[in-house]
Amino acid sequence: MRDKFKVISTDGYNDGYYWDYRIWFAYDEKEYTYMCEGSFSGWIEHAEAIAKGIIDLPEGYRDSRFSSDVEVNKEELIGYVKRLLTSGEDEISLLEDE
Protein backbone atom coordinates (compact mmCIF):
# COMPACT_ATOMS: atom_id res chain seq x y z
CA MET A 1 0.00 0.00 0.00
CA ARG A 2 1.47 3.34 -0.98
CA ASP A 3 1.61 6.32 1.35
CA LYS A 4 -1.19 8.88 0.87
CA PHE A 5 1.06 11.73 2.14
CA LYS A 6 3.87 13.42 0.19
CA VAL A 7 5.72 16.67 0.83
CA ILE A 8 5.92 18.65 -2.41
CA SER A 9 8.10 21.48 -1.11
CA THR A 10 8.83 23.76 1.83
CA ASP A 11 10.02 27.36 1.89
CA GLY A 12 10.17 30.31 4.21
CA TYR A 13 12.26 32.23 6.68
CA ASN A 14 12.76 32.87 10.35
CA ASP A 15 15.18 35.69 11.15
CA GLY A 16 14.68 35.51 14.90
CA TYR A 17 12.07 38.28 14.89
CA TYR A 18 9.71 37.48 12.01
CA TRP A 19 8.78 34.23 10.33
CA ASP A 20 6.70 33.19 7.35
CA TYR A 21 6.80 29.74 5.85
CA ARG A 22 4.80 27.29 3.80
CA ILE A 23 4.61 23.52 3.54
CA TRP A 24 3.16 22.34 0.26
CA PHE A 25 2.05 18.74 0.33
CA ALA A 26 -0.29 16.19 -1.20
CA TYR A 27 -2.62 13.98 0.77
CA ASP A 28 -4.89 11.42 -0.85
CA GLU A 29 -3.77 12.82 -4.24
CA LYS A 30 -4.97 16.38 -3.49
CA GLU A 31 -2.67 19.37 -2.89
CA TYR A 32 -2.67 21.53 0.24
CA THR A 33 -0.72 24.43 1.73
CA TYR A 34 0.11 24.85 5.42
CA MET A 35 0.96 28.47 6.27
CA CYS A 36 2.54 29.92 9.41
CA GLU A 37 3.55 33.53 9.97
CA GLY A 38 4.10 36.02 12.76
CA SER A 39 6.60 37.91 14.87
CA PHE A 40 7.88 37.37 18.36
CA SER A 41 7.05 40.98 19.28
CA GLY A 42 3.44 40.61 18.15
CA TRP A 43 3.88 43.31 15.48
CA ILE A 44 2.72 40.70 12.99
CA GLU A 45 0.04 38.57 14.61
CA HIS A 46 0.74 34.85 14.74
CA ALA A 47 -1.37 33.04 12.17
CA GLU A 48 -1.57 29.42 11.08
CA ALA A 49 -3.83 28.13 8.34
CA ILE A 50 -4.42 25.19 6.03
CA ALA A 51 -5.77 25.64 2.52
CA LYS A 52 -6.68 23.60 -0.52
CA GLY A 53 -4.28 24.01 -3.42
CA ILE A 54 -0.91 25.72 -3.66
CA ILE A 55 -0.58 29.19 -2.12
CA ASP A 56 2.77 30.88 -2.70
CA LEU A 57 4.82 32.87 -0.22
CA PRO A 58 4.38 36.62 -0.72
CA GLU A 59 7.03 38.30 -2.87
CA GLY A 60 9.74 40.04 -0.91
CA TYR A 61 13.31 40.18 0.24
CA ARG A 62 14.53 37.12 2.11
CA ASP A 63 18.05 36.99 3.50
CA SER A 64 19.14 33.41 2.94
CA ARG A 65 21.55 33.63 5.90
CA PHE A 66 18.50 33.47 8.17
CA SER A 67 16.62 30.75 6.33
CA SER A 68 15.80 27.79 8.51
CA ASP A 69 14.65 24.31 7.69
CA VAL A 70 10.90 23.86 7.94
CA GLU A 71 9.94 20.89 10.08
CA VAL A 72 7.20 18.63 8.76
CA ASN A 73 4.94 16.70 11.14
CA LYS A 74 3.02 14.32 8.87
CA GLU A 75 0.36 13.31 11.42
CA GLU A 76 -0.32 16.92 12.41
CA LEU A 77 -0.73 18.02 8.78
CA ILE A 78 -3.08 15.11 8.04
CA GLY A 79 -5.16 16.16 11.07
CA TYR A 80 -5.33 19.71 9.70
CA VAL A 81 -6.53 18.41 6.33
CA LYS A 82 -9.29 16.44 8.07
CA ARG A 83 -10.37 19.62 9.93
CA LEU A 84 -10.37 21.53 6.63
CA LEU A 85 -12.45 18.89 4.84
CA THR A 86 -14.94 18.73 7.73
CA SER A 87 -15.34 22.53 7.61
CA GLY A 88 -16.39 22.53 3.94
CA GLU A 89 -14.20 25.63 3.39
CA ASP A 90 -11.24 26.14 1.05
CA GLU A 91 -9.08 27.60 3.86
CA ILE A 92 -9.35 27.66 7.64
CA SER A 93 -7.43 29.23 10.50
CA LEU A 94 -5.85 26.69 12.81
CA LEU A 95 -5.77 29.06 15.78
CA GLU A 96 -9.49 29.86 16.11
CA ASP A 97 -10.20 26.93 18.43
CA GLU A 98 -7.12 27.38 20.62
Q: Looking at the domain assignment, is residue 56 inside a domain? A: yes
In a domain, residue 98? The reply is no
> What is the structure's pLDDT at 74?
94
- Give the residue from 8, 28, 19, 37 showing the smallest Cα distance to 78: 28
Q: How many domains does the chain have?
A: 1
Domain annotation covers residue 12: yes
Q: Structural domain of residue 47, as residue ranges?
A: 5-93
Q: Is residue 85 part of a domain?
A: yes
From first to last of its 98 residues, what are the pLDDT tens digits of the chain? 467 999 998 888 877 788 888 899 999 999 999 999 999 998 989 999 999 999 988 776 666 555 556 778 999 999 999 999 999 999 999 996 54
* Domain-located, residue 47: yes
In a domain, 25, yes or no: yes
Single pTM value for the model: 0.85
